[in-house]
Amino acid sequence: GEDVEQSLFLSVREGDSSVINCTYTDSSSTYLYWYKQEPGAGLQLLTYIFSNMDMKQDQRLTVLLNKKDKHLSLRIADTQTGDSAIYFCAESENYGGSQGNLIFGKGTKLSVKP
């Protein structure tokens, strides 16, 4: 079945760039997503990318997709302490061309040190 893998922890200094990586298994996934979860809160959709795109940029966020290697990354430029959170990668199942349910990775906990 489908699986999504992420490293569990990342620590960076304030002002540096953060890169959170994810690998997935379903090559037919139509969309790939990044969610952010702050302590005690639900998941917030950060951004998503269509599978026919290589890159998507949204202010400080850059998503890179390498379909050949099934690798997705989220880069946060000028990381701030408010970016400290758990970041989840997710892929959508694909059922004959229709999107199915989301498969989530276990999440990467980003710690930003001042």
Partner 1 sequence: DAGITQSPRHKVTETGTPVTLRCHQTENHRYMYWYRQDPGHGLRLIHYSYGVKDTDKGEVSDGYSVSRSKTEDFLLTLESATSSQTSVYFCAISETSGYQYFGPGTRLTVT
Q: Which residues bind partner 1 (CB under 8 A)?
A: 30-31, 33, 35, 40-45, 48, 88, 92, 98-102, 104-107
Smallest separation (angstroms) from partner 1 to the CB of 100: 6
- Decide whether 2 or 14 has the Cβ nearer to partner 1: 2
Instruction: Tell me whether residue 5 or residue 78 sits nearer to partner 1 (CB atom).
Output: 5
* Cα 61 to Cα 110: distance, rounded to the nearest angstrom: 14
Work out how close the CB of 21 gets to partner 1 at its nearest, in angstroms, rounded to a whole number.
15
CA-CA distance, 22 to 104, in Å (whole number)? Answer: 10
Question: Tokens 């349910």 map to which residue?
Answer: 101
Please report the sign of the dihedral spanned by the C-alpha atoms of residue 111, residue 12, residue 18, residue 29: negative
